[in-house]
Protein backbone atom coordinates (compact mmCIF):
# COMPACT_ATOMS: atom_id res chain seq x y z
CA UNK A 1 0.00 0.00 0.00
CA UNK A 2 1.01 3.65 -0.27
CA UNK A 3 1.27 6.28 2.39
CA UNK A 4 -1.44 5.86 5.00
CA UNK A 5 -4.14 8.54 4.77
CA UNK A 6 -3.36 11.22 7.35
CA UNK A 7 -6.92 12.56 7.30
CA UNK A 8 -8.46 9.16 8.01
CA UNK A 9 -6.04 8.48 10.84
CA UNK A 10 -6.57 11.92 12.38
CA UNK A 11 -10.36 11.54 12.24
CA UNK A 12 -10.14 8.08 13.75
CA UNK A 13 -7.99 9.36 16.63
CA UNK A 14 -10.45 12.18 17.30
CA UNK A 15 -13.31 9.68 17.28
CA UNK A 16 -11.48 7.50 19.80
CA UNK A 17 -10.91 10.46 22.13
CA UNK A 18 -14.55 11.49 21.89
CA UNK A 19 -15.67 7.93 22.66
CA UNK A 20 -13.35 7.82 25.68
CA UNK A 21 -14.73 11.08 27.10
CA UNK A 22 -18.31 9.93 26.52
CA UNK A 23 -17.63 6.69 28.41
CA UNK A 24 -15.95 8.59 31.27
CA UNK A 25 -18.93 10.88 31.58
CA UNK A 26 -21.40 7.98 31.46
CA UNK A 27 -19.50 5.65 33.75
CA UNK A 28 -17.99 7.94 36.37
CA UNK A 29 -19.24 11.47 35.68
CA UNK A 30 -15.67 12.65 35.16
CA UNK A 31 -13.28 14.24 32.70
CA UNK A 32 -11.08 12.04 30.56
CA UNK A 33 -7.94 13.57 32.04
CA UNK A 34 -8.93 12.06 35.40
CA UNK A 35 -8.91 8.53 33.95
CA UNK A 36 -5.79 6.38 33.45
CA UNK A 37 -4.00 7.30 30.24
CA UNK A 38 -4.30 3.82 28.81
CA UNK A 39 -8.10 4.30 28.75
CA UNK A 40 -7.69 6.95 26.04
CA UNK A 41 -5.14 4.82 24.19
CA UNK A 42 -7.46 1.79 24.14
CA UNK A 43 -10.33 3.84 22.73
CA UNK A 44 -8.09 5.23 19.98
CA UNK A 45 -6.86 1.70 19.25
CA UNK A 46 -10.44 0.45 18.87
CA UNK A 47 -11.29 3.35 16.58
CA UNK A 48 -8.22 2.75 14.40
CA UNK A 49 -9.08 -0.94 14.05
CA UNK A 50 -12.07 0.06 11.93
CA UNK A 51 -9.76 1.63 9.33
CA UNK A 52 -7.43 -1.18 8.39
CA UNK A 53 -8.17 -4.56 6.89
CA UNK A 54 -4.81 -5.45 5.33
CA UNK A 55 -2.51 -3.56 7.70
CA UNK A 56 -1.41 -3.99 11.28
CA UNK A 57 -1.95 -1.99 14.44
CA UNK A 58 0.37 -2.54 17.37
CA UNK A 59 1.09 -1.00 20.75
CA UNK A 60 3.91 -0.33 23.19
CA UNK A 61 6.74 -0.66 20.66
CA UNK A 62 10.32 0.31 21.51
CA UNK A 63 12.08 2.86 19.26
CA UNK A 64 14.77 0.30 18.35
CA UNK A 65 12.06 -2.11 17.12
CA UNK A 66 10.42 0.61 15.05
CA UNK A 67 13.72 1.35 13.36
CA UNK A 68 14.12 -2.35 12.57
CA UNK A 69 17.19 -3.02 10.44
CA UNK A 70 18.13 0.61 9.94
CA UNK A 71 21.62 1.40 11.12
CA UNK A 72 22.65 4.16 13.44
CA UNK A 73 22.46 4.80 17.13
CA UNK A 74 19.22 5.40 18.98
CA UNK A 75 19.45 8.72 20.80
CA UNK A 76 20.59 8.19 24.38
CA UNK A 77 17.40 9.45 25.96
CA UNK A 78 15.25 7.15 23.83
CA UNK A 79 16.96 3.84 24.40
CA UNK A 80 15.40 3.03 27.76
CA UNK A 81 12.93 5.87 28.14
CA UNK A 82 9.50 4.72 27.05
CA UNK A 83 7.78 3.14 24.08
CA UNK A 84 5.46 4.41 21.38
CA UNK A 85 1.85 3.92 22.45
CA UNK A 86 0.48 2.87 19.05
CA UNK A 87 2.06 2.02 15.71
CA UNK A 88 0.64 1.35 12.25
CA UNK A 89 2.42 -0.61 9.59
CA UNK A 90 1.81 -2.12 6.18
CA UNK A 91 1.39 -5.85 5.72
CA UNK A 92 3.03 -5.54 2.30
CA UNK A 93 6.22 -3.77 3.35
CA UNK A 94 6.34 -4.90 6.99
CA UNK A 95 7.49 -1.36 7.81
CA UNK A 96 6.14 0.80 10.58
CA UNK A 97 4.66 3.86 8.86
CA UNK A 98 3.09 5.86 11.67
CA UNK A 99 3.72 6.11 15.41
CA UNK A 100 1.19 7.68 17.80
CA UNK A 101 1.84 8.94 21.31
CA UNK A 102 -1.16 9.61 23.58
CA UNK A 103 -1.37 12.03 26.49
CA UNK A 104 -4.58 12.72 28.38
CA UNK A 105 -3.74 16.43 28.76
CA UNK A 106 -1.91 18.71 26.34
CA UNK A 107 -0.30 20.40 29.36
CA UNK A 108 1.29 17.16 30.58
CA UNK A 109 4.88 17.67 31.72
CA UNK A 110 5.80 14.49 29.80
CA UNK A 111 4.39 15.54 26.43
CA UNK A 112 7.68 16.90 25.11
CA UNK A 113 9.44 13.62 25.98
CA UNK A 114 7.02 11.83 23.66
CA UNK A 115 7.49 14.43 20.94
CA UNK A 116 11.28 14.17 21.10
CA UNK A 117 10.98 10.41 20.62
CA UNK A 118 8.75 10.91 17.57
CA UNK A 119 11.05 13.58 16.09
CA UNK A 120 14.00 11.20 16.36
CA UNK A 121 12.14 8.43 14.57
CA UNK A 122 10.85 10.60 11.72
CA UNK A 123 14.18 12.40 11.31
CA UNK A 124 15.97 9.09 10.83
CA UNK A 125 13.52 7.91 8.14
CA UNK A 126 11.99 5.25 10.35
CA UNK A 127 8.45 6.65 9.90
CA UNK A 128 6.40 8.44 7.26
CA UNK A 129 5.10 10.72 9.99
CA UNK A 130 4.19 10.70 13.68
CA UNK A 131 1.28 11.96 15.78
CA UNK A 132 1.03 13.24 19.33
CA UNK A 133 -2.62 13.10 20.45
CA UNK A 134 -3.92 14.84 23.56
CA UNK A 135 -6.86 16.73 25.08
CA UNK A 136 -7.33 20.15 26.68
CA UNK A 137 -10.01 21.32 29.15
CA UNK A 138 -11.13 24.66 30.57
CA UNK A 139 -13.88 25.22 33.11
CA UNK A 140 -16.73 27.44 31.93
CA UNK A 141 -17.89 30.40 33.98
CA UNK A 142 -21.51 31.17 34.86
CA UNK A 143 -22.04 33.90 32.25
CA UNK A 144 -19.86 33.36 29.17
CA UNK A 145 -17.57 30.76 27.68
CA UNK A 146 -15.47 33.33 25.80
CA UNK A 147 -12.74 33.38 28.46
CA UNK A 148 -12.47 29.58 28.38
CA UNK A 149 -12.21 29.61 24.59
CA UNK A 150 -9.57 32.34 24.69
CA UNK A 151 -7.54 30.39 27.26
CA UNK A 152 -7.67 27.25 25.13
CA UNK A 153 -6.58 29.21 22.05
CA UNK A 154 -3.68 30.73 23.99
CA UNK A 155 -2.52 27.39 25.42
CA UNK A 156 -2.71 25.63 22.05
CA UNK A 157 -0.89 28.41 20.21
CA UNK A 158 1.86 28.43 22.83
CA UNK A 159 2.18 24.64 22.67
CA UNK A 160 2.36 24.65 18.86
CA UNK A 161 5.13 27.26 18.97
CA UNK A 162 6.99 25.26 21.59
CA UNK A 163 6.76 22.03 19.58
CA UNK A 164 7.78 23.79 16.35
CA UNK A 165 10.90 25.12 18.04
CA UNK A 166 11.65 21.68 19.45
CA UNK A 167 11.25 20.07 16.03
CA UNK A 168 13.51 22.66 14.37
CA UNK A 169 16.19 22.23 17.02
CA UNK A 170 16.11 18.43 17.08
CA UNK A 171 15.84 17.92 13.31
CA UNK A 172 18.09 20.74 12.09
CA UNK A 173 15.07 22.39 10.51
CA UNK A 174 14.02 19.52 8.22
CA UNK A 175 10.72 18.63 9.92
CA UNK A 176 7.48 20.59 10.05
CA UNK A 177 4.69 20.52 12.61
CA UNK A 178 0.97 20.56 11.82
CA UNK A 179 -1.72 20.98 14.47
CA UNK A 180 -5.03 19.23 13.74
CA UNK A 181 -7.86 20.31 16.03
CA UNK A 182 -11.36 19.09 16.57
CA UNK A 183 -14.29 21.41 17.23
CA UNK A 184 -14.63 22.42 20.87
CA UNK A 185 -17.34 20.65 22.85
CA UNK A 186 -19.11 21.41 26.11
CA UNK A 187 -19.57 18.78 28.77
CA UNK A 188 -21.63 18.94 31.96
CA UNK A 189 -20.64 17.11 35.14
CA UNK A 190 -22.96 16.68 38.11
CA UNK A 191 -20.69 17.43 41.05
CA UNK A 192 -22.78 17.92 44.13
CA UNK A 193 -25.56 16.19 46.06
CA UNK A 194 -27.83 19.22 45.68
CA UNK A 195 -27.87 18.67 41.93
CA UNK A 196 -25.57 21.52 40.97
CA UNK A 197 -23.09 20.95 38.16
CA UNK A 198 -19.96 22.16 36.39
CA UNK A 199 -19.61 22.95 32.69
CA UNK A 200 -16.35 22.33 30.88
CA UNK A 201 -15.09 23.17 27.41
CA UNK A 202 -12.81 20.63 25.76
pLDDT of 145-168, one tens digit each? 778 999 999 999 999 999 999 999
Chain-centroid distance of CA 64 in Å reads 21
pLDDT at residue number 70? 44
Please give the pLDDT value at position 144: 63
Low-confidence ranges of the chain (pLDDT < 70): 1-4, 53-55, 67-82, 91-94, 125-126, 143-144, 192
**pTM for this entry:** 0.85
Can you give the length of the chain in residues? 202
Residue 143: the pLDDT is 64
Taking Cα atoms as reference points, which of 126, 121, 72, 80 lies closest to residue 101?
Answer: 121
Contact at 8 Å (CB) between 61 and 96? yes
Query: Rounded to whole angstroms, how far apart are CA atoms 51 and 65?
Result: 23
Q: Strand 186-190's sheet: what is its strand order?
A: 138-139, 197-201, 186-190
pLDDT of 95 reads 75
Determine the Cα–Cα distance for residues 111 and 82; give it in Å rounded to an integer: 12
Predicted local distance difference test score (pLDDT) of residue 51: 79
Pairing type for strands 197-201 and 138-139 reads antiparallel
Do 95 and 68 touch, CB atoms closer than 8 A?
A: yes
Q: Which pLDDT score is estimated for 163?
A: 94
Inter-residue contact 93 to 56 (CB < 8 Å)? no
Q: Which helix (H) or strand (E) holds 149?
A: helix 146-171
The Cα 20–Cα 37 span in angstroms is: 10
Picking from 198, 177, 179, the residue whose alpha carbon sits closest to that of residue 189 is: 198
Amino acid sequence: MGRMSEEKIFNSILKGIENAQRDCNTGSNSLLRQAPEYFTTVNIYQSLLELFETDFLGSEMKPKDIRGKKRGRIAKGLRCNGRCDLVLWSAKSDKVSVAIEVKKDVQSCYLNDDIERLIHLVKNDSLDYAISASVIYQKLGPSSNKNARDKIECILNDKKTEVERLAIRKSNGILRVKMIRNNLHEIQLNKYEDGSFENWLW
